[in-house]
Structures are given as structure tokens and as C-alpha cells.
Amino acid sequence: MTPLVEAVRLDKRYVDGPTVVRVLEELDLTVGAGDRIAIVGDSGVGKSTLLHLLGGLDRPSGGHVLFDGDDIFTRTDAELAAFRNRTLGFVFQFHHLLGDFTALENVMLPGLIARQPVAAVRARALTLLERVGLQERLVHRPAELSGGEQQRVAVARALSLRPRLILADEPTGNLDPTTGEEVQELLLELNHEQGSALVVATHNPRLAAAMGRTLRLAHGRLSDDRQAPPAAPLTRRGSAGGGAS
């Protein structure tokens, strides 16, 4: 069976005058459908760079990223943007919500960009915001939401087009421990419910321990940090909770 995503001999270098910094060096990674993978490592080793390459947000200096066996970087920038919008979901440490848009409008945005029918996009956004416990915060703008609520909106937005792969870069890194655990639980529950693969870059040991597999990035390459047994099916909470503190 063809893996969902493969990074093959992936290289990323940055050149600053005579200095060449090689961040990733012939890195290989395979992600299957529904996988949960944590990427850990020291600050500055290239975890975010790797996620950006896997998601087509940046182009590699060498190597390939294959999605369903096809190299995503054979696409033009416009084709790559369309691929990202319809196939991938992104969650970052900082939510990157649009400040002038309400929670509902932020979650609807990917569907509107994809030119899906407005009624269907709105219905999907309402369902997701209810699922993350924000049905009472639909018309609130990001500045009117707590940090945990903002991140829940970002998670809902990431899932709006039913992505096959979710890439989360330090999704709990800007949150207090309690709120971080709530967002962690939400991500894992939705990963289980939606069947999306989930790749998370994190310094959070509790989040890494909850994933099916943990890989350590060092010296430009990945190595197995811990192989966990398959995760038991998650039980859905009665509610995702109200506003997080």
C-alpha cells in the first residue's frame, strides 16, 4: 500500500553569504493514513522547517515529498496552494486567525477559498465549532477569545475541509498546562474521529507520549525516539468544554 506521505532524502539548506547552514540532511520519513507521529528535538534543529516542507509551505533544497506517491513540488505555486487548502490542515503555536473575522468566519474561510457552496461551508463550520465547544462564541473575534478558545478555533479551521493530513507545530506551546492538555485531547479525539494522519512538532513530553510514534530530529535526520503500542480508541467527551482559560 502506498504511504500517505513520504519524505525522501529531504535536504534543506540556508545560504548567508559564505555560510551554508544545512538544517535537514537526506531525511527520510513515512506517514501512513491515520498515523500519529510526534517530532521532538532541541530548539532550532529544524522541526518547523520539516513541517513546512511536508506541507508545501517551503520548497526543499533537495529530495522529494511524495503525497499518494506524487511529488508535491512538481506543482506550480498556485497548484501547491490549492493542494494545501483541500488536502492539509495546519495548526500553529500562534493561532494565525484573522483579527477582523469572527470565529465562524475564520473556520469558514478555507471552504470559501475552495469555492464550496456557502451554505455547506457554514454548516460544516457550525458543526466543528460546536464540536470544539465554542457554539456560544460564533460571532466573537479573536481578541475577544481566550488563548485556549483561539486555538480551538484554529483546530476547527484546520479540519474544515476534512484534511487527510494535519500538521501541528507546537500546538500547545503558547498555552498554560491545563489549556494545553485540553487542546491536546481535542486534537487526538478529532484525529481519531476524522481519520486524518497527525504529525506534531512539540517540546511537550505529555503530547509526545500520547502519539503512536515519536521521532527525534538531530543533526538533520530523524531517528526513533520511542515506539508506542497502538493507541486505544478514544472515548468522546460529552462536551469539549466552554471557554478555556
pLDDT digits (tens, 9 = 90+) for 70-110: 999 999 999 999 999 889 999 887 778 999 999 999 999 99
Amino acid letter for position 76: T
- The full set of domain ranges for the chain reads 5-224
4-56 pLDDT, tens per residue? Answer: 999 999 999 998 889 999 999 999 999 999 899 999 999 989 999 999 999 99
Instruction: Walk across the sheet containing 5-16 and list its strands.
Output: 19-31, 5-16, 62-67, 70-71
Rounded to whole angstroms, the Cα distance separating 226 from 207 reads 13
The band of 176, judged by pLDDT with boundaries at 50, 70 and 90, is confident
Domain 5-224 CATH class label: alpha beta
pTM over the 0.95 mark = no
- β-strand partners of 199: 37, 167
Tell me the percentage of the chain whose pLDDT exceeds 90: 58
Cell numbers for 185? 485531547
